[in-house]
A and B are shown apart, each in its own frame.
Chain A
Amino acid sequence: MATVTLQNIQKRFGAVNVIENLSVDIADGEFVVLVGPSGCGKSTLLRMVAGLEEVSGGEIRIGAREVSNLPARDRDIAMVFQNYALYPHMTVEDNMGFALKLKRANPADTAERVKKAAAILGLENLLERYPRQLSGGQRQRVAMGRAIVRNPQVFLFDEPLSNLDAKLRVVMRGEIKAMHQRIGTTTIYVTHDQIEAMTMADKIVVLHDGNIEQVGAPLELYDRPANLFVAGFIGSPAMNFLNGKIEEGVFRTEKGLILPLPAEVSPAKAGGRPLVYGIRPEHIRASDQGIQGRATIVEGTGSEIFAKLDCGGEQLSCLFRERIDVRFGDTVGISIDAKQVHLFDKTTGHRL
């Protein structure tokens, strides 16, 4: 186990700057998730840590070792790929023991370690099988087993659940997290799925266009997003954004809708500037009084009702936990929980 330090990392492909100047500290034993939309540089960053991609500038340290110029085989890391990358011509046992075989470890010791890892992952009965004889979830487990057997300093995961169906993804998410809690190896996990990030991470690094937008614990990102990008990216369904200004102690949108303000915002400081008012759909409640809106979309899942309301020209997504009787075209009254409101500067995108 080890800390991982990325310092002023840069990556250029020809003239294209993929990552400009990025620094992250990862503590020993921490589960860090790199999350962001496609093309944000998260996979490139992970591949640089793995040694599969050269660094154009900056330093990568694993523990006290500076590894930026070491080949992948000397970095003492293990990686789980999106398509598992199991060696198709080897059995599960050989797949898992491959790294130890390369190190010329004692065969009896290798078999012992493979067996132990197989026991952790429930693969004992599959050791003789070939990858093509396994289901997606089993392959995923073998790929994890291959990583565990090595007992490396760092685990790297590159979107490992993207090829699984929705149900299995939830199961494997839990298994990866449980495995981390059990062996405690420092882990860097890349995903574009914010639910995975929220449920698994000790710390989330939100990336966008090769820059870090925010680093923090999952709930911190949810409760206090640093800017419009993080606010829109974390949370599902996405946060409502309404453009407007603070006038006379209330927020007035461009289309004239009046919304409540949180107590800590001082109108004097923020008044006059163009702002963005952010409220998550789950922080809007049905209420007899308050703002009236006409339902343009209604989707019930049983546990909750998602509705899109047209409130005087402004579109508001709402997520009602209570069972209310609302149909397309109905008028619904809502109230906004002022404590849950986020305000952002429209020009810079930063949180006020």
Chain B
Amino acid sequence: MERPLTKRPLIRRRTLDRIGLLFAALVMVSPVVLFFLWMISLSLKYEIDNGAYPPILIPENFAWSNYVQVFRENNFFLYFWNSVLVTGAATLLALIIGVPAGYGIARLKAEKAAIVIMIARMTPGLSFLIPLFLLFQWLNLLGTLWPQIIIHLVVTVPIVVWIMIGYFETTPMELEEAASIDGATPWQVFRLVALPIAKPGIVVAFILALIFSWNNFVFGIVLASRTTRTLPVAVYNMLSFEQVSWGPLAAAALIVTLPVLVLTLFAQKQIVAGLTAGAVKGG
């Protein structure tokens, strides 16, 4: 008889806890959520609704034409393809350079090298953009995607290196020692043991590098010509001289965000696992 009596308050307590937690979480994420909702709302409203007071969140008529306009009026697919090429190349190159670099720095405990790489990241991009612009001009690379790919490495390589340093530092040394006793050369130890174990870390590094590169705006606005624009630059160009067309702008921004958003949702589990790898060291 006693059991149900003691159990009921416990359940009530738990439900209350859960509601409290949910409320706290909602408060914390609300700025982000509201911002995102407003963007969706903007992209679906006609110009006349944008300036309305009181503001309208859900319009009576959805302006799907905003999306159509994005694809029709701009060379959207070209810019999308440019973005794919620049981000793809910059991310892949960063992995090829950054993963072995991170391994080397972690194993040799070369913190100074890691800090030098970090400084390259901390230096404001604008400070070296002009010299680089002149350099690319001299190399006759302007008008191609290469200047953007190369300069995006400034963003992607440090991310990859730093994440990989953290990851390799947490992988147990004994595994590599066991491999070297088993007859592996240092290169084989890296390729056959360290690298496969670091896969979650590589996924995290890949996704973060991808997001930062995809959203980069400053380098594109300076280095891109009319045909080599990436998506963020193209969105900026929706702000025309006479007026800001909020609807198409929001629609374009959403379309630009979408690939990264989908990828992040898809790989969310991996990211969390990768970022907390150091905290819980599983056997």
Contact = CB atoms under 8 A, between A and B. Distances in A.
Interface of A: 50-52, 71-73, 75, 77-79, 81-83, 85, 87-89, 98-99, 102-103, 131-132, 146, 150
Interface string B67-110: 00000000000000000000000000000000000000000000
Given A72-B180, A87-B193, 11 more contacts: A52-B177, A71-B180, A73-B182, A77-B181, A79-B181, A85-B172, A85-B174, A89-B197, A98-B182, A102-B182, A102-B188
B31 interface: no
Nearest to A53: B177
B174 A87 contact: no
Contact of B180 (A73, A83, A87, A103): A73
A345 B193 CA distance: 54
Contacts of B172: 83, 85
Interface residues of B, number: 20
Interface string B161-185: 0000000000010110111111111
B55 interface: no
A102 to B, nearest CB: 4
A102 B175 contact: no
A98 B179 contact: yes
Contacts, number: 62
B196 interface: yes
A147 B20 CA distance: 55
Contacts of B182: 73, 78, 98-99, 102, 146, 150
A87 B181 contact: no
A51 B183 contact: no
A88 B188 contact: no
B177 A81 contact: yes
Nearest to B174: A85
Given A81-B174, A102-B188, A87 B183 contact: no
**7 closest A-B pairs by CB:** A99-B182, A85-B174, A85-B178, A89-B196, A102-B183, A73-B183, A72-B180
A131 B282 CA distance: 12
B180 A88 contact: no
Interface in B184-198: 184-185, 188, 192-193, 196-197
A256 B192 CA distance: 69
A82 B178 CA distance: 11
